[in-house]
Amino acid sequence: MSAAVTVALLFFLSVALNEQVTEGCTCLPRHPQQHFCTSDIVIRAKVIEKVSCTRPGLNAYKIQTIQTFKQLDKKRIQVIYTRTTPNFCGISLYNDEYLLSGRVEDGRVILNLCDLVKPWNQLSQVQKEYLSIYQKGCVCEISPCTGESCLIKILQKKCLMRVTNRYWLDDEKALRSICLPGNDGFCRWQQILNK
């Protein structure tokens, strides 16, 4: 292989790899129910402090669990982990109360930028109420749609959610609703508020 071809190939690979790193943390818009259903844990917790961590690439935070909405095992969660750098979807947490959703990897709860990690006081009352109901809708699929494709009425285990582009959720009705199966087995958006 000639030197010019080798240099061109190396340049192409470096650009491609660089693109993967910068795109590695792009998060697609997701409904809170999707976050709930795909997470191993969903809890309301108070972040107490950042603590020392012996795992490279991770930050550790001591937490106090206030309420558990979903958890695979009943082991008490006292420490959660986040990635250390934004390139790897890292986030920083502060001494505040949060809704935390994430995955369990090697026995550790690890959260990243694409998980639902939000200060508790920034959640709407509807979102707070639906946290105890989302599990019932996990049999349904929520699919993004754009333009006229959102007008199609689908009778299956799927609810459509409008997105304006691949980064922005633009469906207020969906955000105030939960996707649940009806008596006919088909999934549809429903508003169920506990008054």
Distance CA 41, CA 53 (A): 21
CA nearest to 93, candidates 101, 109, 82, 102: 82
Whether the CB-CB separation of 106 and 56 falls below 8 Å is answered with: no
3-state SS assignment for residue 150: helix
User: What single-letter DSSP state applies at residue 38?
Assistant: H
Distance CA 50, CA 38 (A): 26
Question: Which residues does residue 178 pair with via DSSP β-bridges, in sequence order?
Answer: 190
User: Is 150 assigned to a binding site?
Assistant: no
CA nearest to 39, candidates 110, 91, 88, 120: 110
Question: Which residues does residue 158 pair with via DSSP β-bridges, in sequence order?
Answer: 141
CA nearest to 89, candidates 157, 24, 140: 24
Binding site per annotation, positions: 25
Binding site per annotation, positions for Zn(2+): 25
